Structure 1
């Protein structure tokens, strides 16, 4: 439901479909009568479906309703997991131990739920051997096959080759 619900005197229609505080349908009645009933019960008349013919209005405590809505939205935001992309940069002629260190870092990122962008940086004439970069990317993917799947295959972009790994579900 939207934040800009019309309440009480803001509702400008001759008659409304009236819904009681417990959700019971009370039929189509004039707006004045609906406002009078809401006033007697000490509650607000809230237009919940303005596009209906006639609009649907319900009796409720508007302040309490807005509080409940904000609580629900806050809970939904809290449950969202923000996935960020971490980057691991390598060179085509990287030593084995350095590669393993980078791979362990990438594995740590994947286990914490982040995506990993593997970037092979070519310098000078190294770009004439993209097959070395592709082998390195595939070696990284093999190293990570327990915890990751390849989202984007290795691709040369300028002087770099990139590949994206995502954590496996489950």
Structure 2
């Protein structure tokens, strides 16, 4: 977690600050001594929230509680971030129907788990002469998964392989 150093109480060296009290009400622009006195009076800390503003914004709050709230917010944001892994399914132009179905089921499981799937049709040796078979296979695979996935990258031929990338559809329920 990124730790930003906030200036607190006596560390604030600016002559005038824009003060926000403990209730969140804006008091206005006041001298730093008045702001510190109000903070001590309410038994809280004066924390510089926005040092770039002119004059800097300071708030009367409990500094420990303030840091805790920030950490909690960062943790929640980190939890909400979706970590997506790219899984690869490899096929050949002469892949049998059972193998095709098996790999399609695995791809559906990967997508339901929230992962992206890279579908590759690998051409070996003389199979390179039958790229249309590989393309048809790849399109059939994409069609099979269209209920749970959307095509992120259209089928593209690179070297001795044809690739397409499928991503989970938005709004689909994950396990």
- How do 1:2-151 residues align onto structure 2 when only pairs under 5 Å count? 3-151=4-152
Q: Which residue of 1 aligns with 2:167?
A: 166
Q: 4+ residue stretches of structure 1 with deviation over 6 A?
A: none
Classify the secondary structure of the residue corresponding to 1:129. helix
Alignment pair present for 1:157 and 2:154: no
Give per-residue Cα distances to partners, 1:64-118, cap 9 Å, x unaligned. 1000111121122222221211111111111111111111111111222221110
CA shift in 2, pair 1:47/1:155, >3 Å: same
Give per-residue Cα distances to partners, 1:120-170, cap 9 Å, x unaligned. 111123223221211110110121122222211111111111111122233
Question: Could you list the runs of 5+ residues in structure 1 that have no partner in the other structure?
Answer: none
Classify the secondary structure of the residue corresponding to 1:107. helix
Query: Partners of 1:70 and 1:41 in 2: how far apart?
Result: 24
Question: Could you list the runs of 5+ residues in structure 2 that have no partner in the other structure?
Answer: none
Query: Partners of 1:79 and 1:54 in 2: how far apart?
Result: 35
Q: CA deviation at 1:57?
A: 1.1
> Which sits farther off after the overlay, 147-156 or 58-67?
147-156
Across the aligned residues of Structure 1 and Structure 2, the Cα RMSD in angstroms comes to 1.6
TM-score, normalization by structure 1: 0.91
